[in-house]
Every structure is written in structure tokens, then in C-alpha cells.
Amino acid sequence: MKDGSIVFSVLGTRGSGPASGENQKEYGLATSCYVVETKDALIYLDAGSGMASADADRVREGKQVVVLLTHPHTDHLLGLPFLPALHDPGETVTLMAAKRGDMGAKQQVDRLYSSPLWPCLMEDLPAKLVYKDLVMSEKTETFQIGDVTVEYMEGNHPGGSTVYALSYEGKRLVYATDFEHLDLLPEMQPNKAPVACGDTAWKRLVEFAKDADLILFDAPYTDAEYERKKGFGHSTTEKAVELQKVTSAGKVLISHYEVRKTDEELRELEKKYGNPQVLFTKQGMKIEL
């Protein structure tokens, strides 16, 4: 990699759960996991099943290894025990997540990775795993990972989901997954379609993501499909296209594909909505900024 550059790699593109069809391999089977590499850091965005394909032989020497978790839904945690760095006795991995209810980062991970759902605890793995709870407030919060400045804010998703922005050497990358573009009335009635009551979350995202070089955005549905998926906490392909325009972002990457979407369906959507600024992610894709 070039000095001062950020390399963004796609390890998992599926949303809600992994796919397994022969006709889904082109866009990817594994769930949400991306890695951002700079001179000093390897920052994993979520720990979905794609994390299992992280390079085992990647040179980590001297680089901080950090996992930024958006939220603890299982599709974002399925791959955590397979992160190669966690199997290296000399390594320290830091996992950061916003508190969800009264659960800090460690409790969120341990809920899934403990008996009877998993045979061992994460602290039984050879590397040292350090947890950090991120404080969530009304405004944007900031911290550093080496030379990378990380800003974050609350998204719009059942149970919450953190939106992150990573800045390094004048480049800015925004990770906004599991984000619904409409605010919905909080008192949802069973068996009744939720009612949209505004778009304050969307406006906050547009402000947060303005002029980013790259935005990864959650778009498992089309606008037409969304009518039946309101309140699920996700957005649409059409909103991803709009997001690129209103933020003037260099690139918007569409991801978190619906678990049943086939390559053919995604190819059709890409033909209709894709352009040099709006890309459909594929597992294995790499972008250098």
C-alpha cells in the first residue's frame, strides 16, 4: 500500500444472515465484515461471518488491531472467533462497541459466545482481547486509533446501530450499515404497518457523511420492497443513490444484501442504479483511497 493511503477491503456483504446459494457467490455469501488498513492500524468494521476469510498471514507487526462493532445482531458477530489475530498469543485485539441498554461491549459478545450457545469464552482464545465501551450521546463523539480519527453517532435501527467515520491523511470513510432512512412511530402495533413520522435520522446521516470519499451504506431492499419491510431497520438502493448525490461523496458502496437476493437480481439492480459513484460491493473487493 502507498504511504498515507487507506485500503478498504470487503470480507462480507450479506445482511441478516449468511447466504449459501451457488447463484449468490458473485456478490458474496458471508455477512458484514470490512477491514480498513492504514500504516498503523488494521480496523475491522463488524465481525460478521466474512471475518473468517481475513488473511491469516497478513503482516500485523506494529499495527493496532481493532474491531469496531456497530451492534450485536448475530450477522455482525458470527465471525469473531475466527479472526486470525485472536489466535496469535502475542497479539492484542481491541473491540469497541457502544453500550446497548446496560450491556457493554464484553457483555454483548459474551451473550453469544458462552455456553450453551458456544463451547468456550472469548478470553480462552490465545490473544489478549480488550473491550472498550463507547459512550453514545446526542452529538458526534470522537476518539483516535493511532493516526486514524474515528467519529461516531447513533444510527436508526431496532436496538441501535453505531455509524462510524474514519479519517486519515485527509481521507474520510463512513460506515453506515443497518440504518433505516425513515423515523417510525415508537408505539408500533402488532400486525399493523409502522407509520413514518419523519426523517431526522436521515438528515443527521447526510450531515455526518457530507463530502466523504467513501460511504458504505445498507440497502437490502428496493423502494418497492421496503413498503413491506418498514421498521426492520434497513434502507433501499434508491436511498443509496440519493445519499451519494446529497453528500457529494466520492463513492457510495451498496451492501448488506438481503439474504435471498441472487446474483442475477443484484446484477439487474447494478445495471439500473450502478455508476462510477455508486458501486455494488462484492466479497473480495478492495478500494485504495
Q: Which residues bind Zn ion (CB under 5 A)?
A: 15, 73, 75, 178
Q: Which three cell numbers stand for residue 185?
A: 412511530
- Closer residue to Zn ion, CB minimum distance, 36 or 77: 77
Check: CB of residue 34 under 8 Å from CB of residue 11.
yes
The least CB distance from residue 90 to Zn ion, in Å, is 32
CB 136, CB 128: distance < 8 Å:
no
Q: DSSP letter at 124?
A: G
d(CA 22, CA 282) in angstroms, rounded, equals: 15
User: Minimum CB separation from Zn ion for residue 161, in Å?
Assistant: 6
The distance of closest approach from Cβ of residue 240 to Zn ion in the complex, given in angstroms and rounded to an integer, is 15
Q: Nearest residue by C-beta to Zn ion?
A: 73
* β-bridge mates for residue 218, sequence order: 255
Q: What's the closest the beta carbon of residue 81 comes to Zn ion, in angstroms?
A: 18
How long, in residues, is the chain?
289
Of 2 and 228, nearer to Zn ion (C-beta) is 228
**CB closer to Zn ion out of 15 and 81:** 15
The residues, ordered by sequence, that sit 6+ positions from 206 with a Cβ below 8 Å of its Cβ are: 243, 246, 247
Q: Of 6 and 78, which CB lies nearer to Zn ion in the complex structure? A: 78
